[in-house]
A and B are shown apart, each in its own frame.
Chain A
Amino acid sequence: DAGITQSPRHKVTETGTPVTLRCHQTENHRYMYWYRQDPGHGLRLIHYSYGVKDTDKGEVSDGYSVSRSKTEDFLLTLESATSSQTSVYFCATQARSQETQYFGPGTRLLVL
């Protein structure tokens, strides 16, 4: 699992509040990803990073922002949480020389 941790593991928040999820990796992998997983949709890419301070949008990026100030940390921020952002969020990492992505344990977010 490439030494990936996510925090928090569970969070309940209210509509309109900001939320930040953290992904931390210890493998020095270059690429990092944020996905959400919902019934009927599978894994969908939110944002990804191909290096420190280099990020790009995925297929479902609206309402989310990311930051990567150092190799090991990739933050996902919901600026103003909505009920449609209730989901399970997974972080993944990938080494520069590989195509395999390794996933963290996930964060379950409930927006009331």
Chain B
Amino acid sequence: GESVGLHLPTLSVQEGDNSIINCAYSNSASDYFIWYKQESGKGPQFIIDIRSNMDKRQGQRVTVLLNKTVKHLSLQIAATQPGDSAVYFCAETIQGAQKLVFGQGTRLTINP
């Protein structure tokens, strides 16, 4: 399959376990954050977002946590499944800027 990053950080977890993927963002003025999932050979897919006035947001099997003090974002995936195998990356922006700044990504591998 296609490699979106030869030197990406990797995370391997057992199927059924919970996964936590981390992201350090760069701009303390950023006020909107997005997590994307990119499967091999496909475009990035929106997973979940969070605004800076929140520190936690939950979706279906996913939770995003935001720590503005240390400029850290994390994505928690509950009960990981084989279909969760992908590269995950965060993006940050300032409301109204119309441009996203992307992190390098983490490759998540699910072991059977």
Contacts and interface: CB of A to CB of B under 8 A. Distances in A.
Given A42-B5, A42-B89, A100 B95 contact: no
Contacts, number: 58
A99 B42 contact: no
Interface string A56-92: 0000000000000000000000000000000010100
Contacts of A102: 46
B107 to A, nearest CB: 12
B60 to A, nearest CB: 17
Nearest to A4: B43
A37 B4 contact: yes
A106 B49 CA distance: 22
A105 B43 contact: yes
A105 B3 contact: no
Nearest to B95: A99
Interface in A94-112: 94, 99-106, 108
Interface residues of A, number: 23
- Which of the listed residues B5, B6, B45, B105 has the most CB atoms from chain A within 10 Å of its own CB? B5
A58 B30 CA distance: 19
Interface residues of B, number: 28
- Which of the listed residues A40, A90, A104 has the most CB atoms from chain B within 10 Å of its own CB? A40
Contacts of A45: 99
Interface of B: 2-7, 32, 34, 36, 41-46, 49, 89, 91, 93, 95, 97-100, 102-105
Contacts of A94: 98
Given A103-B44, A103-B45, A42 B104 contact: yes
Given A45-B99, A94-B98, A40 B6 contact: yes
Interface string A18-38: 000000000000010000010
A1 interface: yes
26 contacts: A1-B43, A37-B4, A39-B5, A39-B6, A39-B7, A40-B6, A42-B89, A42-B102, A42-B105, A43-B44, A43-B89, A48-B99, A50-B98, A88-B2, A90-B44, A94-B98, A99-B32, A99-B97, A99-B98, A99-B100, A100-B34, A100-B49, A101-B100, A103-B36, A103-B43, A106-B43
